[in-house]
Structure 1
């Protein structure tokens, strides 16, 4: 079945041929091409189906209107060759689509071959100790568990089910895949509590931090949970297998203290003309609580007024630049955030510009803020002399949350401003931009700024 998908760079597009008898109504155009704004093929297929339905309806209505017009003038004779031509036209479309899909499969196969070669080389280079540990895990994983169901199902094969159901980012998929391969990609029916503990021990012995080990165990738990929910296994042996954090561990990130915040402002004060990103992004993060990439990908059209107050639309719709999709942490992060007094000048600065406000080359995951994040880290450590590694760009977000609490901003408004899902779980998402009236969000920002009555 034709999906009408094509890809430019990493972004999927819908391409449909306009029916021959309707091309005159489209000023002679033969095709319609629309960006789907996503790099995920499952998501692109879903969007393409929806748009195709709308196009079919549009073309059906146009055909009926043309037929009614023709009836009033007497039915025209249709040359039988028209049907031959139309049939050939549709066949060409299907063949072209099939060729594009085959090309894409070949490209994916080439990438997979290279990846497997790299994995094989790294396995060969592994130390004897790690190789021995991996062999122990693999041997343990091959032992059948009581109550194992059906045929062999590798843990890595569950990743595709997860991708289809949840549409995670490419970066997250890569991280999960690495963890599964490091664990020896066992059969899900053979994973016992002992196997999970062996994975955990291996990662600790390899020098991973507790936080990293817990993240990897979390990935294993996630995939086994999906397998359990589908009836493929009876229980999830990775539940509760994470290590407790060290007693001396504190927040991985902490807010800037007042002196540190002012030091950053002073260090970047003269950069508005020479390095706009370094000037504006820390200030916007301080007064909006937005994530770095949410701000770095801003376009002129994302600076919008609501109820007469300027603000920022943080969205994952459309493209930051040609072939670079807009991205958010999740759909619940889509929101409009009013600008506070200290950064109202940003709206005026942005007004005279076009396209991306802070243009940058995206990394392989489509993240446009990667390079800036490294530059900002050097500014903190080398110029401002903040050596505490818990203080990063993300610390502005922690500080914004504290400002909201100290100003008496309600939890509902705070979560909407910051694009949080309630409780951090599967509850209703706040901050979609339409959930709370702009007046409530504006009042919350004014409270932080000390302007509210």
Structure 2
């Protein structure tokens, strides 16, 4: 790939020289939005690729800038090649060598001052405890208290960073082997640091097992998506292009990739042009055979494939969408009960809140177990909209106190904001007093640092809080949730209650965060708080045995976002930039 060589330019405010180059058109769709690591004069930068990519040269001297421009160009050339090459398969020696880099980085920064031996021992004990637990299935993970982290969750960001530093793209098998070897290497260095913390500075024999890094040049050409070569129309490439050209949340594409990976595992390839209708049919039948629900198969697995192939038909030369019309046509299973909690179940759950959880929970999660079922019962809000609620959005207008549900606190359906009335019973129980005591931040999860964009979070802590509530209902109370969804069942219960007590449909739907898809006029005008308040007062109180006990009002300090594969838009800094204190805080 022949590229013209740009010149460095001076920043108009700082006077520091920068180097910028236009992203080659052949790889722009695949590379857009991705961050890369470049090293210039021993300084490591992590620019994001857009229409261009640019990096500071770190100097105000024009002669020095010209010298460093060549180094920057060399780095950019490696970046472009990494996107233009097919994924490589690394040998075990090369994989272990990469793992050795992370071993040596931790050793270099922490060996002289490793900190507390007690802390390292506690981490080892926790690791050994997880080693004795089998990895749960994805469907089980959401229902578990403190599930064991997967290797991807633990070390994915470190593997991604190592690949970025070497401008490598590897195949799926190599990536999984890298996770395993990084796990071994980090276990070894943690054991070493525990020995150092105990005063044992005997020779490090374990570190000698890592060979020198000698990686292959990525020479196998990968054709541009849509360039006329059908071999280029892989499902992964189509998804990358779809994500680069659409505004859906990153979480949606992560879900698509996970579902499509299941198909690829079955048929043994991801060439979109050679996938047949029979392949899709076999996949659907296999999903049915695994016991997945009809809705899950149609709305998650098949929907992900159909959306991806549809993009190939619309944007590129894919002849047809072979997944169209293939569905799981089984009837949904019938249930003896309703969609929501019965009156007896609802009262049993609400009465149990006064006993709290038998498990050792953080202060925010204790409050969630008590308050979230009550708020759900009287509002029908999605549980995540409750658990992510911030005290600053408790408002008062025309003598009515209400909750402002807003995407500023996290994800809401359709990105909408609306007012939610507070039932008088909740006020009597002290809900408003609780929010005011906690302050402007969240009551039900550990706060993020000031300035965190809560809308951009891919794994909001409010979700963990919602999971604690669901586990408490199903595991501690032993109440089987209708449809297997202990939190969602409250929305059905609230809707049934509204119908029974003649709450008008329009305000009911508004409070539920729903918007009519058939009558645009329902979107006209506003909903003053006193109107919503009048409707919510139509609902009777839940008469259960109550006590004066309430969960703690203890506030907790903000904690930074953990830098894992699920962190929002977070990229792992280079190993060479990490400081000992920063590493300790991550553990």
TM-score bin, normalised by smaller chain:
0.5 to 0.7
CA distance in 2, matches of 1:252, 1:172: 32
CA distance in 2, matches of 1:361, 1:109: 32
* Aligned match of 2:410: 327
* Aligned match of 1:413: 507
Retained in 2: the 8 A contact 1:277–1:296? yes
* Aligned match of 1:310: 401
Give how far 1:170 is off.
4.4
- TM-score normalized with structure 1 length: 0.60
Residue 313 of structure 2 corresponds to residue 228 of structure 1 = yes
Written as runs of structure 1 = structure 2, the 5 A alignment for 1:39-50 is none
Residue 349 of structure 2 corresponds to residue 244 of structure 1 = no
Residue 244 of structure 2 corresponds to residue 159 of structure 1 = no
Retained in 2: the 8 A contact 1:288–1:337? yes
* Aligned match of 1:341: 424
Residue 266 of structure 2 corresponds to residue 173 of structure 1 = no
Cα deviation per residue 1:196-236 (whole Å; 9 max; x = unaligned)? 21221233345544343322111111212233333543543
* Aligned match of 1:183: 263
CA distance in 2, matches of 1:449, 1:236: 52
* Aligned match of 1:50: none
* Aligned match of 2:446: 360
- TM-score normalized with structure 2 length: 0.48
* Aligned match of 1:372: 465
Aligned length: 340
Out of 182, 185, 197, the residue aligned to residue 281 of structure 2 is: 197
CA distance in 2, matches of 1:416, 1:394: 17
* Aligned match of 1:219: 304
Cα deviation per residue 1:322-356 (whole Å; 9 max; x = unaligned)? xxxx4214434432212122222312221122322
Give how far 1:267 is off.
0.7
Query: How has the CA–CA distance of structure 1 residues 278 and 115 changed in structure 2, closer, same or farther, with 3 Å as cutoff?
Result: farther
Residue 388 of structure 2 corresponds to residue 297 of structure 1 = yes
How large is the Cα RMSD of the aligned pairs? 5.0
Retained in 1: the 8 A contact 2:387–2:463? no
CA distance in 1, matches of 2:175, 2:531: 53
Query: How has the CA–CA distance of structure 1 residues 105 and 172 changed in structure 2, closer, same or farther, with 3 Å as cutoff?
Result: same
* Aligned match of 1:78: none
Retained in 2: the 8 A contact 1:217–1:242? yes
Residue 335 of structure 2 corresponds to residue 255 of structure 1 = no
Return 5+ residue gaps in structure 2 as ranges: 1-10, 16-31, 36-58, 80-156, 180-227, 449-456, 542-587
What's the secondary structure of 2:331's corresponding residue?
coil
CA distance in 2, matches of 1:409, 1:223: 42
CA distance in 1, matches of 2:337, 2:410: 24
What's the secondary structure of 2:538's corresponding residue?
helix
Written as runs of structure 1 = structure 2, the 5 A alignment for 1:363-442 is 365-388=458-481, 390=483, 392-423=486-517, 436-442=527-533
Query: How has the CA–CA distance of structure 1 residues 232 and 405 changed in structure 2, closer, same or farther, with 3 Å as cutoff?
Result: farther
Retained in 2: the 8 A contact 1:338–1:441? yes
CA distance in 2, matches of 1:429, 1:155: 41
Retained in 2: the 8 A contact 1:413–1:441? yes
CA distance in 1, matches of 2:271, 2:462: 38
Retained in 1: the 8 A contact 2:238–2:308? yes
Query: How has the CA–CA distance of structure 1 residues 377 and 85 changed in structure 2, closer, same or farther, with 3 Å as cutoff?
Result: closer
What's the secondary structure of 1:311's corresponding residue?
strand
* Aligned match of 1:143: none
Cα deviation per residue 1:144-166 (whole Å; 9 max; x = unaligned)? xxxxx753311222222333354
Retained in 2: the 8 A contact 1:253–1:395? no
